[in-house]
Structure 1
Amino acid sequence: MNTTDRTPADLLRSALAADAARPLVTFYDDATGERVELSVATLANWVAKTANLLQGELSAEPGDRLALLLPAHWQTAVWLLACSSTGVVAELPADTTDTGSASSLAAAADLVVSGPDTLEAARACTGERIALSLRPLGGRFPRPPEGFTDYAVEVPGQGDHFAPFSPVDPDAPALVVGGEELTGAQVVERARADAGTRGLGPGARLLSGLPYGTWEGVCAGLFAPLAAGGSVVLCRHLDRLDAAGLEERVRSERITHTAD
């Protein structure tokens, strides 16, 4: 962590400089059995490729609004940090299963990123539409959804390094979550404060099964561990684990803190 960092993208760059090999996001989907572990370097590579896709292929500009209709997932973390890298404002719905709310968010956005369960709501966006299958290892759709760019097809060919066309303003809007708009600097400030409240520090492992539709969820599931120099074990469908399964995960993943 660097005290001069003022955007989430800055936090990622500092983490990369400090220890690129350490785990940053470990993702579980307890409905499918999927487990993915991403080091700082691997996550940063995905972020760079996605930011290049945003800026170069999709012509997104600072201040553009992106409706992020995805659950708590490692690829959602990638998109949040790619938006921060480009100055695009990421807007998270309170509940992706609320079709009306998700559709309204998409309709007002300049572009939309959708998972397989929100494609109909995402069609309300008149701008660029990107779809993620959310299959293991970032796999493609068996058949690309009509009217959407398949993220898994387009992102591999993007550059491994990213440089914005113009510097990102940390005092410009960066994130909308829970109906509240935050600048990049505010995200970082709150993430550091939340990390302190939770007692997170370098090497901490925070387990979170919270959805990304609230500040508490997205902070625990990404920003606070990143700000603290720790890592997150992000669990989707965590309620499918019984007590013994959860205890084993805490042990095997060397969890030091939990979000509840």
Structure 2
Amino acid sequence: MTAPFAADARIPAELLHAYLRPGAPDADPSRPLITFYDDSTGERVELSAKTFDNWVAKTANLLQDELNAGPDDRAALLLPAHWQTAVWLLACWSVGVTVIPGGDPAAADLVISGPDGLEAAEACSGERVALALRPLGGRFPQRPDGFLDYAAEVPGQGDRFAPYSPVDPQAQALETEVDGMPLKLTGEQTVALAREGAARLGIGVGDRVLSTLAYDGWSGLEAGLLAPLAAGASVVICRNADALTPEQWEKRIEAERVTVRLG
């Protein structure tokens, strides 16, 4: 039996590392890994595994060195399904920070928020990071008071990341929910569930997975990021796509060579 993709991965960040090794899908880390559409703005962003890994490394360095975040910390992510959200998820897992998508900022050690969550994010007494979520990763026209502007801070960070101490696969990595029920997972459990999800959803090496699901629960995280990563696939994230006609969907699926559609 063929070993699963990234068979030795024990934390979610190691799923990404597998794309950069010789023998990765098509043996080319420059191939698309994350493609993002925002149909309210017409934005389309495409990131190869190599470019995505660079964003993750810079963000992880920002977390570890500038925000002093570590394995004992919990980060509330008030963000939609977005390529920058995917970056933050992998960066937190690279450092060992527990991620809580849609979590209560008042109960978190730090908060990462998009424009729509800034008011709620003010309840966090720790570090606060704001993402403008503008095309091309642009900055806020004016930095929100009490927040770091991610787009202004991340470019100067290092292109390579190494945690101060190895991330423990048995430590908690994710707090989310399934069908309204709380779900707390270690890094190892997150990887195992991602692999199970890839098998259940029929995702394999080289597939192109299109997802319209939010990242506020396990189903969206699984479909729009983790299961594709566990399988050696790539993902097309579509935000604000409700108004697309069947014909427009057909064109997108053809243009992006989508093989699995979820949501």
1:51 and 1:76 map into 2 onto residues whose CA distance is: 13
Which residue in the other structure is 1:97 paired with? Answer: none
Contact in 2 for aligned 1:175/1:182 (Cα 8 Å)? yes
Q: Does 1:224 align with 2:233?
A: no
Which is worse superposed, 235-244 or 77-86? 235-244
Q: What SS does the aligned partner of 1:159 have?
A: coil
Q: 2:184 aligns with which of 177, 181, 185?
A: 181
Deviation by residue 1:69-105 (Cα, 9 ceiling, x = unmatched): 0000000000000011000001012xxxxxxxx6xx0
The correspondence of residues 104-253 of structure 1 with structure 2, limited to 5 A, is: 105-178=104-177, 179-253=182-256
The correspondence of residues 4-83 of structure 1 with structure 2, limited to 5 A, is: 4-17=8-21, 18=24, 19-83=28-92
1:234 and 1:139 map into 2 onto residues whose CA distance is: 19
Which residue in the other structure is 1:96 paired with? Answer: none
How much has 1:63 moved relative to structure 2?
A: 2.2
1:248 and 1:20 map into 2 onto residues whose CA distance is: 26
2:84 and 2:172 map into 1 onto residues whose CA distance is: 21
The correspondence of residues 85-104 of structure 1 with structure 2, limited to 5 A, is: 85-93=94-102
How much has 1:133 moved relative to structure 2?
A: 0.1
Gaps of 5+ in 2: none
Q: What SS does the aligned partner of 1:117 have?
A: helix
Contact in 2 for aligned 1:63/1:173 (Cα 8 Å)? no
Gaps of 5+ in 1: 94-101
Deviation by residue 1:179-200 (Cα, 9 ceiling, x = unmatched): 2111111111011111111111
Q: Percent identity over the alignment?
A: 62
How much has 1:38 moved relative to structure 2?
A: 0.4
What stretches of structure 1 move > 3 A for 4+ residues in a row?
A: none
Contact in 2 for aligned 1:66/1:110 (Cα 8 Å)? yes
How much has 1:137 moved relative to structure 2?
A: 0.8
Aligned residues: 250
Letter in 2 for 1:87: G
Letter in 1 for 2:44: R
How much has 1:2 moved relative to structure 2?
A: 2.0
Q: What SS does the aligned partner of 1:129 have?
A: strand
1:63 and 1:83 map into 2 onto residues whose CA distance is: 11
Contact in 2 for aligned 1:26/1:38 (Cα 8 Å)? yes
Which residue in the other structure is 1:99 paired with? Answer: none
Q: Does 1:3 align with 2:7?
A: yes
Q: CA RMSD in A?
A: 0.8
Deviation by residue 1:212-245 (Cα, 9 ceiling, x = unmatched): 1110101111011111111010000121211111
Q: Does 1:258 align with 2:257?
A: no
1:109 and 1:204 map into 2 onto residues whose CA distance is: 36
Which is worse superposed, 224-233 or 176-185? 176-185
Letter in 2 for 1:7: I
